[in-house]
Each structure stands twice: as C-alpha cells, then as structure tokens.
Chain A
Amino acid sequence: MRFGIVVFPGTWSDRDCAHAVQLAGAEPVPLWHADRDLKGSDVVVLPGGFAYGDYLRTGAIARFAPVMEAVREHARSGGLVWGICNGFQILCEAGLLPGALLRNSSLQFRCQPTWLRVETTATPFLADCTPGQTLRVPISHGEGRFFADAPTLAQLNDQGRVALRYSEKDGRLSPDANPNGSLQNIAGILNEGGNVLGMMPHPERACEELLGSTDGLQLFNSVIRRLAARAG
C-alpha cells in the first residue's frame, strides 16, 4: 500500500505523515512538487506546512504546482486524496473541495488538542469509525476558519459531506469547542465522491500514546483497510 506524500517547498508535515504511514504498516512515497509522477501511489497526502511560504494566500501558489495536475487526475479517477492542514487549504484553492479557510477568529495561530466528532463513515477515510464518535486530534494553524456561502454549506450538509466537526469530548457542539471560528464547527469536508478529504487537524500527530493520542491512527488504518478490500 503506497501513500504518496507531496513535498512542496515549505511543507513540514511530510516527515510526520511518513512516520504515521509507517506506523500503520504502509509505505510512504515522497512526491516532489515539480514532478507530475505519483509513483504508483494508492493515496496522495497533501501534508501541513506553508507551501511556497504562503505569503500570498494559503495554497494560492501551490495549486499551480505541476504535481497538482496529477493529483487532480488521481482524484477524478476516484483515487484517494487527503489534504491535511495546508493540504486542505491547497485543495480548496485548487477547486477539489469547496469553501475557503480564513484567518482564525482569534487572529492568532493556534496549536492545541481538539475533539472531533465523526459526521459520516461513508468514506474510506472514516469507514473504521462509528458515526458520532469523537477523536482526540490536535490542530496547528493560523488560517483554519472554514467558510463557505450558504448554498454550498447547505449542499455539504445535505450530501453528508461534512466529515468532521470540532466538538466537546462527549460530541456536543459548542462555541468553546470551536478553536478557529469555523462555520458550523466544520473541521473537515469531503468531495462528492467521498474520495477527497480535507481536514485542518493533524491526525499524523495523534498516532502514538507517547505523544498523547492514538485516535489519528484510526484514519490511516481505515484507509489501508478499505484500499486492501478494494484491491482484494
């Protein structure tokens, strides 16, 4: 099972994602932003960081990277694409996911643990979870406030494409549980096919008890199991 991990200049979660992929028993494959070759990746991860410095607007330059043409094609043909943090921002800029990620309502960078409520399991990324289950996964971003216009938001809800929401430990949604002011506490969304997931929190930081949580590993395991089932 090959997880292609895209490295843009300024990406910094690539090593963490590779580590998590290895913990889950799959093979990480580094992908260079200037190449169009996905090297046979089963799933493509766009990791966290500040691609090209993100001085303009997060993800605004990364969407034009040569590798993104291949990523777009991979998604179109049903391949799995997973945008984490900066990767989510890039997917929105690239039009693979709707909406935008704005500056946190606090106007400050936030690195803290959050609880995420699983909103759907109808995607390979969350298939191993149970709906309503909460996961302990940290965030680390300055621009993670999910925003979309009302029709888009309604569509995301109607089509069951909201994947994760920031919640209390018991699953209750509250303003206090929302670390960045995201609309409707949205932490992650899916494309129509459920094969593209964008999420602000960092599951790759929640794969070991030593580091505080293993809940993120469920997502990696889930992807591996579904892909194995599909292959088998």
Chain B
Amino acid sequence: MTQVTNGSDPTAPELLELALTQDEYRAAVDQLGRVPNRLELGMLGALWSEHCSYKTSRRLLRQLPAEGPQVVQGPGENAGVVDIGEGLLCCFKIESHNHPSAVEPVQGAATGVGGILRDVFAMGARPVAILDAIRFGDLEDTRQRQRFARVVEGIGWYGNCIGVPTVGGETYFDDAYQHNCLVNAMCVGLARHDQLVRAVASGPGNPVLLVGADTGRDGIHGATFASVQLDQGAEDRRPAVQVGNPFLEKCLLEACLELTGDPDLIGLQDCGAAGLTSSCAEMAHRGGVGIEIAADRVSRREQGMTPYEVMLSESQERMVLVVRGGAEERFRAAFRRWGLHSDVVGRVIEEPLFRTTEAGQEVGSLPLGLLISGFPERHPEASPPARLSRLDLDPLAAIPPWPASDAWLRLLSSPNCGDARWIWRQYDHQVGDDTVFGPGADAALLRLRDRPDGLAMTVDSAHRSAPLAPRRATAIAVAEGMRNLACVGAQPLALTNCLNFGDPDRPEIMWQLEESVAGLAEAARTLGIPVVSGNVSLYNQFDGESIPPTPTLGVVGLVADLDRRVGAGFRRERDLIGLVGPAAAGPHGVELGGSEYQRLAHGTLEGPAPELDLAAEARSAAAVRSAIGQGLLCSAHDCALGGLAVTLAESALLGGLGCRIRTPLEVPGGAPPSFVPGLLFGETQGRYLVSFDPNCRAAVEAVFEQSATPFAVLGAVGGPVIAVEGLAEIDLEAAMQAWAAAIPGRMEPTQAGRS
C-alpha cells in the first residue's frame, strides 16, 4: 500500500465548490500536517458543510433541553427516540429538503421523504407516519402554482408508493418564499426495545456492507449545495439533486426490518447527505474505531467513476451495515431475497482513520476526529435589524379595508386559512390501518395496536411575527404544537426541529437564529418537551433576499384513552361553545401584530407579536386534556391562524353546523379603527374553542376553574349561519364554498369548489 501523497493547494474556485473557506482549509492543513489531496479535500468539504457539521448552529443547539425520563435517544443519532411504554419505542425526526426542491420540485421533495424514512428505519423502527411542512410564494403566480403542485406530487409519490401514510402537515404561502420554497418532512416510526439499532461501527476486521442502489454521479456535492445560497445559476446545479426510487426503498425497508434484532448486525446507517463519506465516518467515530473503504468494490451505475465521485455520491436508497465477520454472506442472501444487491465495500479498522483505497492503493487517509469535529466552529456576528422599531407601531390604528364579515370570508378563502384537502387527498393517509385522525385535524392520531392509548403528532412553524420577534414567534410554535396535541387529548412527549433560515453571515439572520433557538429552548424547557432530534437548513436566500426565519417543529405525544378522543368540528346542535384562555390580551385588549389578517388586509408586518405566557399555556393544555379525558368535550380546536373568527368557522365547517356566539370582549367607546378585526382575527395565544353538552357545563367550568384557566361560555351550535353577535355574520353554505375553493379555486380554476 502506498502512502497518500501531498496534494497541491486548491484554487479559490475549487474551495468555493466545496463550500470551504480559506480559514477552514488552513485549519485542515494545520491539523493534518500536510496538504490534503483532492479526494480528502472533497470529503472534508462535505463533512464540514453546515448540513453535516452544524458548524454555525452547534453552539446554539447545545442550549436545547434533551433530557427526560421518556428519552431513550437524544440528538446525535439518525433519529430521536422516546419510550412510549409496554416495550415500544417511538423514533422520529424532521428534515429539510429545501434546496433540491427549489431546483427540481418532484424529485427534491420525493427524496426528502425518502431520506427521512431511511433515518427512521435505520434505527430499526417501522415508519408509521409522514408529516410535511411546506412553504411557497403566492399562488397567484403561475410558477409558484407549478412548484407547489409538483412538490405535493413528489411527497405523495414517494409516500404513496412506499406505503407509509402521510397523516398531517402544514402549508403556508407568502411572497417571501417565492425563491426559496421550504420542504420539511417528518417521519415517525415504531420499534420494540430489542429491535433498536444504532448507527455504530465496532470490532476491527468486521465487514462493511453497502446495500441498495448502485452508486452513480447523482447528488455529488449535495451537502455542500445545501449549504450555500441559491442564485441565478441554481438550475445548473440540477446534477446535485438526487433521483428517488421508492420501490427500491420499500424493499430496503422490509429487508432491513427483517434483520433488526439479528445478533450479528452491529450497526446500520442511512447513506444520506455526503453519501458513503458521512455515513461511514459517523459510524466509525461513534464506535471509536476507524474504517477502510475500497472505492473500487462499490457497484457503480456509470463507468469511469473516480474514488472522489464514489465517496461523495448521494445516490439514494442505499444503506451501510457493519456486521460480524463471517455473517456477511447470510446478510447478502437476506437482501437478495428482496432483490437487493449488496457489496462488502470495506472493513472496520483499529486506528481512528478514514482510509480509502482503490485497486489496493491507498488514495486517502484522514483522521476521523478531523473529519467529524475538526472544523472551526463559526460564530458569525449577530445584531438585530434596524427595522425592529416596527414592533412599536400600533397595528390597531390601521383603517380596515373591508367590513368584518367580508374580511372573514376573504380569510377563509385564502390558501393559508382555507381547506387543504386539495393537498392531502393526493396523499395516502390511511395505509397501515392505524390512522384515526388524518390530515385536517389539529393533530394526527394513530392507534397503537392492542392498547387503549394512541400516538398523536403535529407539525407547526413559527408565528408570522418571526422576522421581528424570532424568540417569541418560535416559542409560540412550541406552544401551538402542545395545543394541537391537547385538542385531541394528547400529552406531548418530545419534539424534533428543523431550523430554516437565511444566510447566517448576515448579522440580522444570525440574530434571528440565536433568538429563535433561545425561544425554542425556553419554551421546550418550560413546557417540559425535550428536543430529541433536529436539522438545520441555512442559506435559504436568493439574490440577497432571505426567507423569514422558519423554525418548524414536530411534536409527538400520547392520548391516554382513544375512546375519549375529540375532533375539531362541532358535533351536535345545541351544544355550548366555550372559549378557553384569555378573553383579552395586549395593551388594548386585542392583538393584531403579525396576524394573517394584517398580511392579507394591509400587506404589512408591524406591531408587537402576540403575548405568550408559557406557564398559563401549560395549565390550559392540561385542563383541556383533562376535560377530554373525562369525556366532557365534544370538540376542541386550537385558536391560531386567523384568530377566534377563523377558528370558529373551521369548527362549524368541519362539523357542517352553524353557530352563534357573543363577543368575548365588548367594543369600548373610542376604540381604535382596527379593534373589531383585532377581536375577530387577532392571534392571541393560549386559546382553544371547545364545544360540549349543556348538561356538562358545570363540570367543564369546574375543570378550567381548578386549573386557573380563564373560560367563558360564548354561545351555541346550530343555525344556518356562523355569527359573532353584533360584529359579523356569514352564511354557512357560502363559507363552505369559500373555504373549500381556497386552493382548488387557484390551482384548477375550472373546477373551483368541486371536491
């Protein structure tokens, strides 16, 4: 075996291609004691990319609480794991695939789903649910409609084909996402305790297997591509986007799950971003050993591939296994049964090195410590933007452009508040026969076989006030996730996060990131929801224009008694309607800052973000859960986007029943111009709209009184209209048409309103 020869210093464009800075390059040379060759440099660039190393965000992420008695595995593995009792574990994670989806929407979104599924079954867990959080520009724009339709197609295609239900999600449209769509996919899986597999290599001499797709030139530099901003040349980066094969992944999934629990299986790892390089380096590093990969033993899709291309390819649907020496043929036979090709591509070695060979010659050798943690952490300067003064503006001073009832219908017919059925009817949300509540509910709900409880899950992103108040807006997302779970009766267990931000080298963006993570840490700690996995997507920026900070959170929880679950829709005429939470908030009693109404009516973002009282949120969520657990409620719905009026209308529309309530707050004499919109559409936090049998009134009131949660009975279900007395009233049928047409009316104008 020959010694790796010294390389020559790379040129500036070469470093740029690898997304390495001069400083990082020098740090690598210093630690290595020589100039790395091109293969080694490529491997360093991939593993030191933001996507793999979290070099910018790592320092911040340390603040996040990851402990709890239920936590089996926190951040650092393929997915987080919590114990849900009776020997069962729940593994879950959310991840972004924003950059690829912007360039090639169908494949970008599809492989995002494929990647997160692999993360979960790499743990030995059977994926049981997918959720998505997607954001685009305005649907009035043809290009946005096309991108949106194709992302939905891609998510659906992969999930439908592989047979894992897509049970929930969140969609939002705003001009700020027109150049950088967001595609975040979450996967939830279940494993028995003894099936849990770790992504670790151990036992020098043990063989390393690569199974699944042959390795091609697709996706080379995918990790680095995701770590730079998109520009006019982004289309040319299409080769950095991978192509998905859900059928192959289905076979991989079944084969891998057959092998979990096998005593000869030592480690299993998804081959994701940065391909073989990152999967092998991470496994070896975790096991405190080294790894040697023979690039020429990797089956290839194309001729003439160099070790560089083999080691950095992001070809999809590949898994890496470390098995006990001598067992490799047994494993290969098991894969063959599923029609899968596998190769022994290397072995575990004692020295903590990542050694690459080609035809018996050593072509690369890097210390694992250097690859995994040798990068200099980046601490870009953070400073708040000058436009923070906009927080001090009074949003209630704006003159409303529409009468209240008109505004109500406009909100309901907007794509952000309207019915999202157009999206999720394209997703198989039932396969697996466990979906009790699918998309369209506050939280998705899956039954767990042979036990009375159920698994609830939701995804929620930061409040629209995030650019000006990232800390509060992120904490609001955590609270909203908890509220969504509470509405189906579930107690949160843990959360996963995907932090979508712009270019952290801009002080304003770095400030947003710092503030947002602080808000997440504070809310997660106060509400007792550990953060067990996550992903960071930076550089969501185009021509200097950044997306609004968009942390997306996936929260998983348990419903104690599935038979007591309630939905968001009203169930029976004459049931009473109650508002849980504060009737008034903010200096004027009503809040409008950062609301969806403000965006639609004025196109502005100004005024203070909604107030948030985390202690009160914890109490009210517990009270709602308790009322549901006692069988006292008929419906519960989180009061969020669009405020009280939109929430009321949604409960009415989901139940197909009208309703009439009184205003929770009198309009004072001399009220500011936008007081009534604030009352109806303000996004005051900590609120739920519930309905219940009149006979249960005393018991319901007692539950909320005991938890010191404000509660007011506002009205009753029934009638042909949806009304807030004296302020606004809309016809149930007209509201239904407006709401149902919100997306199809824009996507398929000729079929508007038809479901």
Contact = CB atoms under 8 A, between A and B. Distances in A.
A9 B433 contact: no
Interface string A8-32: 0111110110011000000000000
A50 interface: yes
Counting chain A CB atoms within 10 Å of each CB, the highest count among B161, B428, B436 belongs to B428
B712 interface: no
A49 B163 CA distance: 7
Contact of A111 (B427, B562, B754): B427
A69 interface: no
Contact of A109 (B160, B339, B433): B160
B52 interface: no
Contacts of B426: 108-111
Given A111-B428, A140-B431, A205-B430, A9 B339 contact: yes
Contacts of A19: 433
B80 interface: no
A186 to B, nearest CB: 21
A231 interface: no
A79 interface: no
Contacts of A228: none
A15 B754 CA distance: 34
Contacts of A229: none
Interface string A75-119: 000000000000000000000000000000000111110000000
Size range of the chain B interface in the assembly: 20 to 34
Contacts of B163: 11-13, 49-50
Residue of B160, B248, B427 contacting most chain A CB atoms (<10 Å)? B160
A2 B245 CA distance: 34
Nearest to A14: B163
A12 B165 CA distance: 11
A222 B248 CA distance: 36
A16 B432 contact: yes
Give the interface size class of chain A. 20 to 34
Nearest to B126: A15
B425 interface: yes
B179 to A, nearest CB: 26
Contacts of A9: 247, 250-251, 338-339
Interface in B237-274: 245-248, 250-251
A210 B251 CA distance: 30
Contacts of A140: 160, 428, 430-431
Nearest to B433: A16
B454 to A, nearest CB: 9
B433 A204 contact: yes
Nearest to B160: A109
Task: In the A-B complex, list the 8 residue pairs whose CB atoms are closest, starting with the nearest.
Answer: A12-B163, A53-B247, A16-B433, A140-B428, A111-B428, A50-B161, A109-B426, A10-B247
Interface of B: 153, 156-157, 160-163, 245-248, 250-251, 338-339, 424-436, 447, 562, 754
19 contacts: A9-B338, A10-B247, A10-B250, A11-B163, A13-B431, A15-B432, A48-B431, A50-B246, A53-B161, A53-B245, A109-B157, A109-B427, A111-B160, A111-B427, A176-B754, A204-B433, A205-B433, A211-B433, A211-B436
Given A111-B424, A204-B433, 15 more contacts: A9-B250, A10-B161, A12-B250, A15-B432, A16-B431, A52-B247, A53-B247, A109-B156, A112-B425, A138-B430, A140-B430, A202-B430, A207-B433, A208-B433, A210-B562
